Structure formats: C-alpha cells, structure tokens
Structure 1
C-alpha cells in the first residue's frame, strides 16, 4: 500500500515517502544552482515543506573560523560556541519547552563547509535527525559544486583576461612591427625626409611637418603644402626652442601639436611636428613619432655628412669647370659625384642680399632645382653662387620667384649663361652669366633674372668680341630667314630690314622695295611664319631692327 511505504535510519520512525520525494526535488534544484546564495535561498524557502521548521542562522568556514553566511543573521558568539561544542556532526541545541533548535552540518565527502541552524515549535519530528543529515549532505555537496563552478569561472575569467592581454600584446607588437617595416622601408627608399613624412602620416592619419633647425619645412604630408604659419615668428620660435633645450627623451605636446626633437648628439638637426588639434595622439601615435625621430636622426645626420663631403668635392669641381679643364677629366670627376656632363649645360651665377649664412643661397638653389628634378652642381665662387645646370634652359623668372620664397626676400639677381655642349665650353657660359648678371644689377630693376641669350642689343653693346659676336647675334635672330632666302633666292631679310627702317609704315616700305602693298603683307606673313616672330612685340622689333642692321653691315665688304 502506498501510504505504508517509508524509509528508516536506525531506530527512527520512518519518514513518509512524499517527504523524500520533496527532498529529491530540492536536491535536484540545488544541483542546478551555480551560486551559494541561490542554493541557500532554495533551502530556506523549501525547508518548511520538508519539516515544520525554518532556518535561524547559517554559518560557513572562512579562514578556519565560522562566520555568518553573507545575507543571513549577524554573528552570535554564543551560538558559534554552542556549534563548536556539538562538533562536526551537529545536533540539538538547548531550547525552551515550546520550541527546538537543531544544528546540522553542510558536509561533502571532503569537508564540512558550514552549518545550518533550524528552529521549530513544539517537539522536533522523530525522523528529523536523518532528514537533516541527508539535507545537510545534499546542501554541502551542492555548495561544493557551486564553489568548484566558481573556481572554474574564476579560472576561465583569468584565462580570458590573460588571453585578452596576450591578444592586445600581439596586436601591439604587430602594429609596432608594421611601424618598423614601414619606416625602415621609407628610410631605405632614398627619398629622405619626404618618404619618412609620408610614412608617419600613413601610420598616424595626422598631418606632419619636418623642419630644419631654422624652422624651414624640409618635408610634409597630410596637406598639399606647408600650412600657413608653419614657420613661426621669432618669439614663438624661440619659445619652442627653449622647450627643445629642456628635451630629455620622449615627444612632448606643444599646444595643438606633438613635437619630437631630432638631435642624435649635441647638434639640433630638426623637429618633427605632428599636428593634433583634436588631441587624438595616443600611445601608438607617440610610438610612431618616437621611432620616426630615430630614423630621421640617422637620415639627417647621414645627409649632413654627405653634404659636407659633397660640398668640398663640388666646390673643387665647379671651380675647375668654370675656370677651364679638359673634357675627359671633367667627365670622370663629374661621374664620380653622380653627375652627367655629357648633356648640354648652362652656367648660372646667383647673388642674393640676405642676412643668412652664405651657404644658404647655394642650399636654396639646390633645393629648388632638386624639386624641379633638375641635375646641377653648385658652389661658392668669387663671392657668388655658381651653378652648372644640366638638361636644357632654365626659367629664370620662375627660379627667382622660388628663391625669393625660399630665402624670404626677393633682393637677389640671377645671370644665366648660354648653352654648352661640352665641359670645355663652360668658361664661356660662365662669362656670359657674369655679363648677364652685371647688366641686371646695373639696370633699373636689379632684382630678377637675366639670360645671356635674351640680352639682345645689350649683349652687343656690352660685348668686346667685335664682328664675330655681331654675326652670332644676327644668326640668332635671322637664321631661319637667312636660310630660307639662301635656299629659295628670296629676299625676306631685306623686306624685314626695309619694313623696320620705315618704322612699320606699309606704304613707305613697299615703295622702297618697289613692290605692291599686298605683296609686302604677304612677305611679312611669311616672315612671321618662317621665323616664328611676333612683330607687334616691342623687344622683338628692337632686336630684329638691330639684327637687320647688323646683317646690312656684315653684307658689306670689310675694310
């Protein structure tokens, strides 16, 4: 019969089967909990359904001492002493006639984890001892499982934290490796500070400017050109240099930019300025700037050493070239410094009035020509900067404008000599450049550029070369027309001469030539076409007039 089924323990009266079923349900619920508080809450709420009692207190061992379970009654020293007196098996506590109190251990196979103190009215149930022993073992086992789960969770959390730290470390190392590779490749590219600036901008996403010790931009990236005000005023520059003087290591912030000092030794080689108005620069950006500074220091120190050697070699070579040397020796010496003299050259002479070191003019000329991808040799010679430029003519006006920007003043003049096919002709081009420079300096507009080939009549007036020089001038301006006349038997040069002698009057010129006015118009049109001449341009008319007069003189027999 179902109602007679029971479980016994020793001499105790058997508990009803429904009580063990409820205990089983509670045990299953505890096994599903993963936290001690949840297990104790389940026991507290379920105990009245198992026996006519409730939990009075709960204790656990912590550091060898019994302490109240968090969230239960506060510590009662008397109760703790009573529990100790009962021993690990627990048992009944002293109570009044109308109630009872029982301590049962929360035990698992390895240890007793604590005690529960239950309280009930009247007399304790006859089967309470066995029931509380089973319940205590179930609670102890559940608490042990929760503790293991907590330890596993803590271990898993520690593993995850360690894995996250390792992941961040690997990511940082990868980013640093990318920084090393990118900046090393930039340094090895041969493009100098420009490549380093582009690499820093690529790695940080922030605009960057690299300055020389004087505040002049050497390279930049992140903007098309140095932003307005990149070169600070004298007071602001001095304030920045005062900060630089106290620099001891890492990059530092100066208002809306990060500044890193390029100073491998005692000499300041430059500054690396990272524009950061939004203060975005963090550890990665500072690492990039720091390593870029190291690479840049090596690059600029190498450039300085090369420049010093190159300056000495170039000075000697340029001196010999403009003073005169044989072609083969010149070819070999130029090739040794990486310059090809086997292409046409022009000699430039530059004089500039500024308050900088004399070498600044040479440096500025070299920098401008380098930016134009023009190959040149430059040196100081006889108080001026002499430049031997390869590959065609030089735009003097553009060069003067660029040097004015570079040197901060337009108070300078440039003389440009004629074309030379061989090194042995360079002294002539040098003399022509000096002549052009002297004419420019003695003119009403002494600041600018003058090419010897554009001197026109002034070249004749200032020359002492005599008839041969006149012949060269005539050939320069009338060459295509003279060749056409010689080939076709025409008289275009004579027509131009009479037209200019007549002051551009069609009727007078036609009458002098004994031709019709329309014929004169046709010949002038052919002159414009064959000679590529603009007869409406004042300087062109003047030079043509002088050239046609020279042709007239040369056509006459010499005395």
Structure 2
C-alpha cells in the first residue's frame, strides 16, 4: 500500500474513532439505558457493513438477558463477559461484544453482517461496545446517586417528622404526668368532688360539672354556670349513660364531653367537661378520663364508708323500732353522731319502681336531712325505708312538701309516706313505728294511694290504727255489726257491695264519681246501693249511719290488708 492510501486509511480510521468518541459524549449525556442502547444501535451501521441484532443487558445480578432464542441466551451466558462469535439465524456472520467498563460487565451488543468485517471495523465495534458499557455504568451510577439523594431527602423528612412526633409525645407525656400529679394529689389530700372539679378546670381551662346518676348537679367549677341547671328526661339520661358505658371513653354530647365515674358495673357519678366552642384536645380528654377514675375512687370510698355507717345505723334503727332501753339507745346513737335526747318520730316510706332500696334510702336521707336541717337515722328493708327523725312540729303542708321533694329526686311519684306520732324517749319509738305503718296502710288503701299520711292528723281514724289486741277485736266486732250482712253476701255471691259502699263514701256520696271510680254504670250503682239498704236495713244518707258505715268500711279495708 502506497503512502497515499495509508494516509487516507489512517484518516478514515481516525475519523471513525472521533465519531465513536463523539457518540460516547452523546451517550454519556443520556440518563436512561434504553436511550443509550437505541442511540448506539443506530450508530453501528455508520461504522461499516455490520448491523445491530440486539442488546442484552444483565440486570439485578440475576444474569438475565433480554429477548432472544434460548440457544443465543445460553451462548451469551457461556461467554462470561468476553467477546465471542454467536449464531443468529439468517446471518452469515454474528458476534457478541461485551459491554465492559470500569464499573463491570453490563451485557452484550450482538451485531451481524453478510461477511466478516475487516479487523479495523471490528476494532471500532469493540471500542463502541466499551463506550456503551461505560455510558451504561455512568447512567446507572447517576440513577443510584439520584435515588440516594431522594432516599436521603425522604429520610431527612421522616427524621424531622419523627423528631416532631417525639417532641409532641414528650410534651404530651409531660402534660399527662402533670395531670396525674394534680389529680392524685387531690385524691391523697381528700379534696373530694370539689377538689376534683377545681383541678380539672385548672388543667383544661374549661368549666367542669359533676352530676349524680340522675343528672342532678353536685359540683360546678368555672364560669357560665346555668341557673337552673338543666336536666334531661329519664329516657334520654338512660340512653346517654348506656352510650358512655359502651364507649369506655369520654363521649361528646352536644356542647360537652361526658365521662362516667364507674368503678365496676354501676355508675356512681358523671363528670362533664363543658366545651361549646370545641376547644378540647386529646390531653384535655385524657385529663377528663383520669379525673373520672379519681372521682370513681372517691365516690366508691365514700360509698363504702356510708355503707358501713348505714349498717351500724340500720342495726340501731332496728333495735329502736322493736324496743330497747333508753340508756343504751342514747349511748349508741351518740357514737354515730345522732342526738336521741330530743323527741323523735318514725316515718315509713315505700317507693316501688324507684330503684334499689339503697338508692331510695340515700335519696330520702339527703332530702330529709336538707329539709329537716338535722341528721336522721334510717334503714331499708324489702320494699320500705324506715326513718327516725327529730320531731319537726310540721303541719300537713310541710309533710307534703317532703313527699314532693323525694318524688322529684327519684323521678317517681308512686311513693307513699306514713308518719307516726312523736316519742319523747327512745323506748316509745315502737309505738310511733306502729302508728307510721298504720298511717302508711291507710294512705295506700285510700283513693289517692300516693302521698303522705300523718297519724296525728287522722282524727277518728286513729281508732283504726291501734295495734292493741283487745282494740283490734273490738274493731272487728264493730265492722261485723255494721257490715256483716254485706260481707256475707259478697262471700256467697262473689259481689263487691262492701267495696261499693266504701267507694261511695270516699267519693262524698257523688254518684258520677263513684260509678267512674268503680268503672260501672250509674244504674248498676243505684242497684247496688238499693241492695245494700235492703241487706243492712239502714238508710245510707242518715248522718249517724253515714259516719259509722264509712268508718266501718275504712276499718274493713285496713283489716283486709292486715289479714
């Protein structure tokens, strides 16, 4: 070869090498593998007669290659990172060039040709493969760097979030610790309900109310106390307590949060956080919840103490009502803080359907102590509460006011009270007790069974309230004398002539009222009254007959209830 051809050949090689390095610069600017491979594949044809069959990349260290025949993939794996000839269907000549670089082996570039290219072209193809490998490694490094930057940024963001959460958690724990200390200090110091309400108000900045199970206000701390304090209906109150029990946490009820003081399964009280502007946050609810626990402990302790005292008082009341000497009675009552040196009288109360005997007794004790402005002794038994109170010298109006106050507290008007006479010494209290029982029975057997009856106000009916055996026999004989024929007729014919006569006098002789009370027609009433006149032989309108017959029917009612 002459020098001229050698120079031209060298110039052509240098030109193609320059093109390869120019291609390399372009490939290094690419950041996606597919762009690099596509750009390089399109450039193979510019280096000579060879064509690009395909590029096969190694990914994720699994040494997987791209699409191609199984034989071709097996051959590429066997090359293990070296250049080598391969078989491509329909190609007289095919060779795989390893995409190697400093970063490692990236895969293969497979080229084909109709005839084996000259060595200088094969050299250019090897050089191009090396540049492709370097560009691929550079792109992968760039992607790793970008990914690392993103991951680092995400980690920094997460770290900032965790730091903020940790700071908030520490602040929340500090607030909870402070709430625990404040409320536990109240419990330890015996601050009671007022201390709990005050501490919760200081912790939350919101007004606080403590209610009993019926919704009556026990304590208030903070501004805006409503006057009078609102109360919901018993049905809605029951629904609220049921929802709070099911939740197990404070619940919102309109403009306030409600938490139960419930040491076991019985609600002893309700703690309320007034929040009309929805200012309460989580640590306020935690303080409310913890305060409810402290309140439950306080109420349970007070209840235990009260139960012990009530048992002692109940034992004393039982002995006083059944009979004991004056000296021991006064000594035991003094130990319980009650003065029996004053005249006392007995009250017997029944409030069916108003709850447990203990609940009724506590309510009666609270109302009686408030209205009488002095302590009382009481005990409860099946269906009744017995109360010993210093004689207040009340008139009938004040006794009715006592009944109304208890009914309001219990939200139940189906009660009755019997008031015995005054006893100047403890040993006479059994008589007052007997009188209270008789007064209660008279009330319950009357047209208005709900209310209060005072034994001293019975007048002639006190004759019906004696517990003396001889007097009772006399009373039975009196009833027999005036009502005997009617009683016998009722027993023989299963009729209600005595009841009709009693109701007739109870209604003041008014036909319409009597017929309505007995749920019978006026003509039926007239027939019965005519039959009563025939059987008794007495004129029902006569003053003396009217008095004796009315008294006899009252006595019959009482005696019938005692049999």
Per the normalisation by structure 1, the TM-score is 0.45
Per the normalisation by structure 2, the TM-score is 0.45
Structure with higher helix content: 2
